């Protein structure tokens, strides 16, 4: 099989969609692609620290199998031969799941998480596990931002975002309970996506808060997101939160010509960001308007007020429930911030928990009622570029409401700030409208034509 490089040895910079097409056409060997990613890991990992483990030998063995299959025209699925990175809260058969926690909590699962099994069935090659904040909460990892190692990559999907941002993998799984996929994507200059809560199974994923936990995708293009959503979506009886809905056909949605979208801007919310971010979002909106998009201001519904506080109550109570057998007897084994989350959550009464959950569900209904005139809402993904230092993973304020509502959202890299770090805009849609959201996102992506990457 002939090997095609993009520019000499730049195979690691291919998007998942580009690589999949070249593997299927016979122009690219999965072995060459995996080898290129492993070489990039060797070059960048000492500075970025994105990985918990890299399974190089196993990945190359599987890549050789995928290459042999491709040579005889046997393709397992749309991700045949594509290397993937997995946040270390996903169970992978034969690998330890650390969840970023003390060794006491480590597990060695006997089966893959449902999402990992779907990726493998589609032909993907697992490269290894990436770092996560402890139990996907707020205590930072050692992972560095690939754009500037003095800045956070975000959390909790820090390793997955940094690995993709540094071109060590074209595709990674993260998770989002509050802002843990889209915010790291924004900070690392890549695309991040969360589907409607219940669209993708979380079976085999270490839980933080069942009511909000959502599989996240991190990659370098909207087309890659569509590929991932189509592979991962589907009802799973093993996940109590899974909803039996017809899966979307996101790749088909992207194949059709997209009309200029109808975008709503929650101006009061946008203007709580930092000045540079506000100016940037309005500049993006103006570009969209000049290209034919409809841009209208929109007022968020009354339930928006206090929904993030309600979400924190739900997360704390559900996290405390998940850890009830270990906390407080082993409280000293937890890191400081998560220890506080569990202590507060354990004090939450049933009345307060139910009231908070009902407010989140009311917000979802009101957002759904708000959306018919719009294809998506446009706003920042984060209030500012990635903060300096590793003591904080950043502010999830612009992601949290949509996690509480369980609606789909996507982060798109959209510019470079004065300090040289990436800027990002977020698009949010009504529940179950993944295909429509990605069609809108693809239109915006093409307009912005983002091509920058860390040096």
**pLDDT at site 258:** 84
pLDDT digits (tens, 9 = 90+) for 112-125: 999 999 999 999 99
Which residue shows structure tokens 């975008």? Answer: 263
pLDDT digits (tens, 9 = 90+) for 8-23: 479 999 999 999 999 9
> Is the peptide bond between 156 and the residue preceding it cis, with omega within 30 degrees of 0?
yes
pLDDT beyond 70 at 5: no
pLDDT beyond 70 at 3: no
pLDDT beyond 70 at 2: no
Active site residue 156: yes
Q: Which of 156, 160, 403, 414 is catalytic?
A: 156
Q: What percent of the chain has pLDDT over 90?
A: 96
Asked whether 181 and 148 are in contact (CB, 8 A), the reply is no
Across the range 218-247, mean pLDDT stands at 98
Q: Which of 29, 160, 180, 414 is catalytic?
A: 180
**pLDDT at site 451:** 86
Across the range 71-92, mean pLDDT stands at 98
Q: How is the chain split into domains, by residue range?
A: 11-303+361-448, 304-360
pLDDT beyond 60 at 194: yes
pLDDT digits (tens, 9 = 90+) for 122-165: 999 999 999 999 999 999 999 999 999 999 999 999 999 999 99
**pLDDT at site 175:** 98
Among the residue ranges 7-16, 343-352, 439-448, the one predicted with the least confidence is 7-16
Q: Which of 49, 87, 129, 194 is catalytic?
A: 87
Q: Going by DSSP bridges, is the β-strand pair 422-428/376-380 parallel, antiparallel, or unpaired?
A: antiparallel
* Architecture label for domain 11-303+361-448: Alpha-Beta Complex (3.90)
**pLDDT at site 453:** 87
pLDDT beyond 90 at 4: no
State both tokens at 447: 């307009």
pLDDT band at 257 (very low <50, low <70, confident <90, very high): confident
**pLDDT at site 452:** 86
Q: What percent of the chain has pLDDT over 70?
A: 98
pLDDT digits (tens, 9 = 90+) for 285-297: 999 999 999 999 9
pLDDT beyond 50 at 1: no
pLDDT beyond 50 at 7: no
Across all residues in the chain, what is the average pLDDT?
A: 96
**pLDDT at site 455:** 75
Across the range 419-435, mean pLDDT stands at 98
**pLDDT at site 130:** 99
Among the residue ranges 7-11, 68-72, 148-152, 213-217, the one predicted with the least confidence is 7-11
pTM for the model = 0.97
């Amino acid at each position: 099989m002939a090997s095609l490089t993009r520019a000499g040895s730049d195979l690691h910079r291919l998007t998942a969609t580009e690589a999949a097409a070249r593997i299927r056409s016979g122009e690219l060997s999965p072995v060459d692609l995996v080898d290129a990613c492993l070489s990039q890991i060797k070059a960048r990992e000492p500075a970025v620290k994105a990985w918990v483990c890299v399974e190089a030998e196993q990945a190359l063995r599987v890549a050789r199998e995928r290459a042999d299959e491709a040579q005889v025209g046997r393709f397992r699925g749309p991700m045949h031969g594509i290397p993937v990175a997995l946040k270390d809260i996903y169970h992978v058969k034969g690998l330890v799941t650390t969840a970023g926690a003390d060794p006491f909590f480590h597990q060695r699962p006997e089966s893959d998480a449902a999402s990992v099994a779907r990726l493998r069935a589609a032909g993907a090659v697992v490269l290894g596990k990436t770092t996560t904040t402890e139990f996907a909460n707020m205590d930072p990892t050692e992972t560095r931002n690939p754009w500037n190692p003095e800045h956070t990559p975000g959390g909790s999907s820090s390793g997955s975002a940094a690995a993709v941002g540094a071109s060590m993998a074209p595709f990674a799984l993260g998770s989002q309970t509050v802002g843990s996929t889209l915010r790291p994507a924004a900070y690392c200059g890549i695309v991040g996506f969360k589907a409607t809560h219940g669209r993708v199974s979380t079976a085999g994923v270490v839980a933080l808060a069942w009511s909000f936990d959502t599989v996240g995708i991190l990659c370098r293009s909207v087309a890659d997101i569509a590929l991932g959503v189509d592979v991962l979506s589907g009802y799973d009886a093993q996940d109590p939160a899974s909803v039996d809905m017809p899966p979307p056909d996101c790749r088909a949605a992207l194949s059709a010509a997209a009309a200029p979208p109808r975008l709503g801007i929650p101006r009061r919310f946008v203007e709580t960001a930092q000045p540079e971010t506000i100016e940037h979002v309005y500049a993006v909106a103006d570009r969209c308007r000049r290209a034919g998009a409809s841009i209208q201001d929109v007022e968020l519904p009354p339930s928006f007020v206090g929904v993030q506080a309600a979400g924190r109550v739900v997360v704390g109570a559900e996290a405390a429930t998940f850890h009830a057998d270990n906390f407080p007897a082993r409280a000293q084994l937890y890191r400081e911030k998560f220890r506080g989350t569990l202590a507060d959550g354990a004090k939450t009464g049933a009345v307060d928990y139910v009231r908070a959950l009902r407010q989140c569900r009311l917000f979802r209904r009101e957002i759904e009622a708000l959306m018919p005139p719009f294809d998506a809402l446009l706003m920042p993904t984060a209030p500012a570029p990635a903060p300096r230092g590793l003591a904080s993973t950043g502010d999830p304020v612009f992601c949290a409401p949509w996690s509480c509502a369980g609606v789909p959202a996507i982060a798109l890299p959209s510019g470079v700030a004065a300090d040289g770090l990436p800027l990002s805009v977020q698009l949010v849609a009504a529940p179950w409208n993944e295909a429509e959201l990605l069609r809108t996102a693809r239109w915006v992506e093409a307009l912005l034509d983002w091509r920058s990457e860390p040096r």
